[in-house]
Structure 1
Amino acid sequence: MDLSEFRKEYSDRGLHREDLAAEPVEQFGSWFNQAVELGIPEPNAMSLATVDEGGMPLLRTVLLKYFDVSGFVFFTNYESRKSAHIAGNPRVSLMFPWVTLERQVIIQGRAEKISSAESLRYFASRPRESRLGAWVSCQSSVISSRKLLMQKLNELKDKFAHGEIPLPSFWGGYRVVPSTVEFWQGGPARLHDRFLYTRSGENWKIERLSP
C-alpha cells in the first residue's frame, strides 16, 4: 500500500523559547493539563522503549500514573519482560504522542524501582478488579488460553472475598528519572519547533533543535 500521498499540513501554533518553563517537568505539566482540558483520549498513555540483552529494542504502551520533579512513574509486574530489560539496562525512553495537538514529548532517562511503601499506596487506590488482575497475570509468559486466566481470577475472588487484597511481592512501580526531555510542536512546511532540555548538574540546559 502506497501511503506517500497520505499527509497532513500542520498548523502554525508554534513553540517559542521565551514561553518555555525553566524546568522540563513544569513544561510537561503545562502541556499535560492542556491535553486533559481538550479531552485528548488517555493523555497519560506513553510509549516505553527498553532494550534486551542483545540490544534489540522493544516498544509498548504503558500508563503514567504520576509525575513530579523526581520523575515519571508507571506500574507493572516486576517479573515481566520490560522489567527484565530494565534490570539488564535501566536506560529507557518515554514518548507521549499527543497527535491531536500536533505535539509529542520524548523523555530519556533511567528507570528505578520505587519503594514498596510507595507502590502500596498506589495499589491500595486501584479498583478491586485491578488489584485482583495484578495477582492473576504472570505478565509476558506464554499461556494456553484465556480460560486459565478467568479460572485463576475466580479463585482469587474467593480467596480474598472477605479481606483486603495485599500488594503482590512481584508488582510495583518504576520512576523514570529524566536526563533529557524534548518538546516537539508540529509546524507548517515540516518546519517543526523542537526544544531539548538536558540535565546539567542541578540545572537544565535548553536548546532549539532543527526539525
Structure 2
Amino acid sequence: MFPATPLIGRLRPSTNRLTLRSISPVHHHHHQPKTDQHARSGGGAGGGRRRIRMSSTVTEITRHQQYHSAGLEEQDLEGAEPLELFKRWFEDAQRSGLVEEPEAMCLSTGLPTGEVSSRFVLLKKIEPAAGLVFFTNYDSRKAQEIRRNAHVSAAFYWGPLHQQIRICGKAEKIPEEESQRYFDGRPLGSRIGAWASPQSSPLESRAHLLDLVASHEARFELQPGSIDRHPPSQQDLHTLIPRPDYWGGFRIIPNEIEFWVGRPNRLHDRFVFKRSLDGLAPSSPWTRQRLAP
C-alpha cells in the first residue's frame, strides 16, 4: 500500500496564453450599428429609447500547436498501478513549475435524468490505494447531484507537459474526522467563507455576501475585516472556528483512468485502465488497453 500524498498546495502562475482573433462579421456590416427610425427621431412616449442592433461575429481560435513529447509506450506501463502512475505524473507536474494549479480538475456530475454539469475544483489528496479527495459544501449543486448519482468524471489537462488524465468512478463522503482535520488547517478566511457562503444558492449582491462574512466574524468574536488582514492577528489565528456540518470531503473511487500524451500530427498516445466496482469496492484487477488517438 502506498502512503497518501500530502495535502496539495498552490503553485506559481504559468506564462502560457491562448491567442484569439475575431474574423469578419457573418453579414459583413462594417458601418455603425443601426437604430430604428423611432429611436432616431426621439419620438414616442417618454422620448423614445435607442434600440441597438447587435452585430454578429465569430471568434476563431487560430493557434495550432504541434505536440512533441517523448510519448508513452507499453513498456513504460508494465506493472503500473494507474493511481500510482497518476501520483507520479502529478508530482512531476508540480516540480516542473510550468503548470499553474496542476491540482485543478474539471469535475463533472450528472443527474439520473441525464443532465450533466461541470466545474473546476481543487484536488486535495491522492491516495494510491483508494482514490482522489476534494472538499466542498455538501449543499452545493455538485454535492446534491452526487447524492442522487454517485457516478462522476474528473479531467486534468497540463498543457505545457502535453498531458491529460481522465478519471471516471464513484464519489463517496469521507469520514467526518478527515474533513475536520483538513478544515482546521485551512486559512482563517477560508473557514469563515465556508460559513458565510450558501454555495450555489441565489445571491442578492456581493454586498450581501460581505454582510454575511461580517456577521460570522462577529459570531466567532473576530475583529471586523479579520479575513483580509495579512498576517492575521495572533488572537484571530488561534480562534477556534468549528466546521459546518454541511461542509466536508468526497473521495472519488475510480473504475477507469485514461492517460493521454500529445504527439506530432495529432497521433497521440492514449492508454486506458479499467476495473469493475462492486458498490464502492473494487471487484476485479485493473486491465490496460491502448486507444486510437
Structure 2 counterparts to residues 65-80 of structure 1, below 5 A: 65-68=124-127, 69-80=129-140
Which structure's relative contact order is higher, taking Cα pairs within 8 Å and 6+ residues apart?
1
Q: Could you tell me how far 1:203 is from its partner in structure 2?
A: 2.1
Q: TM-score normalized by structure 2?
A: 0.69
CA distance in 2, matches of 1:170, 1:5: 45
Q: Number of aligned residue pairs: give it.
A: 211
Give deviations 1:136-164, integer Å, cap 9, x for gaps: 11110001101111111111112213641
Are positions 1:188 and 2:248 aligned together?
no
Separation (CA, whole Å) in 1 of partners of 2:195 and 2:288? 43
| C-alpha distance after superposition, 1:26-76 (max 9, x if no partner) | 100111011001111111000000113431111100000001121100000
Query: Cα distance 1:5–1:41, how it changes in 2: closer, same or farther (>3 A)?
Result: closer
1:52 to 97, 111, 118: 111
**Alignment partners' CA distance in 2, 1:5 and 1:150:** 41
Q: How does 1:112-191 map to 2 (within 5 A)?
A: 112-161=172-221, 163-191=239-267
Amino acid at match of 1:48: L
Over 3 Å counting, the alpha-carbon distance change for 1:121 and 1:205 in structure 2 is same
SS of alignment partner, residue 241 of structure 2: coil
* Correspondence 1:197 to 2:277: no
Q: Which amino acid aligns with 1:146?
A: R
More deviation in 187-196 or 156-165?
A: 156-165
- Structure label with greater radius of gyration: 2
Q: Secondary structure at the match of 1:11?
A: coil
The one-letter amino acid of 2:120's match is T
- Name the structure 2 match of 1:104: 164
Q: CA deviation at 1:100?
A: 1.2
Q: Deviation per CA, 1:93-139: give whole Å up to 9, x if none.
A: 00001111111000000000111111001101101110110001111
Contact 2:191 2:241 in 1 (8 A): yes
Contact residue 96 and residue 104 of structure 1 kept, 8 A: yes
- Alignment of 1:17 with 2:74, yes or no, is yes
Partner of 1:209: 291
Moved more, 20-29 or 165-174: 20-29
Partners of 1:85 and 1:12 lie apart in 2 by 37
Structure 1, unmatched stretches of 5+, are none
Over aligned residues, Cα RMSD in angstroms? Answer: 1.4
Letter in 2 for 1:31: W
> Are 1:3 and 2:60 an aligned pair?
yes
Match of 2:153 among 93, 113, 131: 93
2:69, 2:261 within 8 Å by CA — same for their partners in 1? no
Conserved in 1, the CA contact under 8 Å of 2:69 and 2:162? no
**What letter is aligned with 1:183?**
F
Relative to 1, partners in 2 of residues 1:157 and 1:179: Cα closer, same or farther, differing over 3 Å? same
In the TM superposition, what is the alpha-carbon distance from 1:3 to its structure 2 partner?
A: 3.2
Q: Report deviation, 1:12.
A: 3.9
Higher strand proportion (structure 1 or 2): 1
Percent of pairs with identical residues = 45
